[in-house]
Amino acid sequence: MSTWGAGNAERAHPAEPKRARPAEGEAPHPADAEPPDPAEGEAALLFSALADPTRRQVVQLLGTRPWRAGELAAATGMSGPAMSRHLRVLLRAGLVADERPDSDARARVFRLRPQSLAALHAWLDQLQAHWDEQLAAFKRHIDERPQR
């Protein structure tokens, strides 16, 4: 979504002057920049999967060691089918991986895929950079104001 247009014309403070649209190739004013949108890309899938407290608990458990689905169900107090549904969501999001041990082809062992959190880290880094820029622009504005 563009930051210029109807949203730029209607300012929260009526006394604030309307800024001109930046020239071609010129960066927009920092106050008009939008933070990164988590609904775009892989981060949205991760946020959706981690929105459920049970799935967050499973991710925490898998952070300690690989677990079988039945062990995870027992540790969380859930039924096997319910845990299976949660694990399916985590698998689709890429947060966990499953393996079948050679000793028992019926069993599945789940482990955390820490590299899958890279998309989440990248989104958070973008958000941090956005707010660092916003705060720096605010500081410059305050520092440049004439003292009264």
pTM for the whole structure: 0.60
Evaluate whether 19 touches 32 at the Cβ level (below 8 Å).
yes
pLDDT for 71: 95
CATH 3.40.1260.10 fits 42-117, yes or no: no
Q: Got the DSSP string for the chain? A: --SSSHHHHS-SSTTSPPPPPPPTTPPPPGGGPPPP-TTSSHHHHHHHHHTSHHHHHHHHHHTTS-EEHHHHHHHHT--HHHHHHHHHHHHHHTSEEEE--TT-TT--EEEE-GGGGHHHHHHHHHHHHHHHHHHHHHHHHHHHSPP-
User: Where along the chain do its domains lie?
Assistant: 42-117
pLDDT for 111: 95
pLDDT for 43: 77
pLDDT for 17: 44
Give the C-alpha distances (Å, rounded to integers) separating 8 from 22, 86, 127, 146.
12, 43, 21, 26
Extract the residue ranges of the chain whose pLDDT is less than 70. 1-41
Q: Name the nearest CA neighbour of 29 among 11, 51, 53, 55.
A: 11
Residue 3: both structure tokens together: 């930051």
pLDDT for 34: 53
Q: What does the CA dihedral 52, 54, 58, 61 come to, rounded to 10 degrees?
A: 120
Q: Nearest 5°: CA angle at 132, between 128 and 138? A: 145
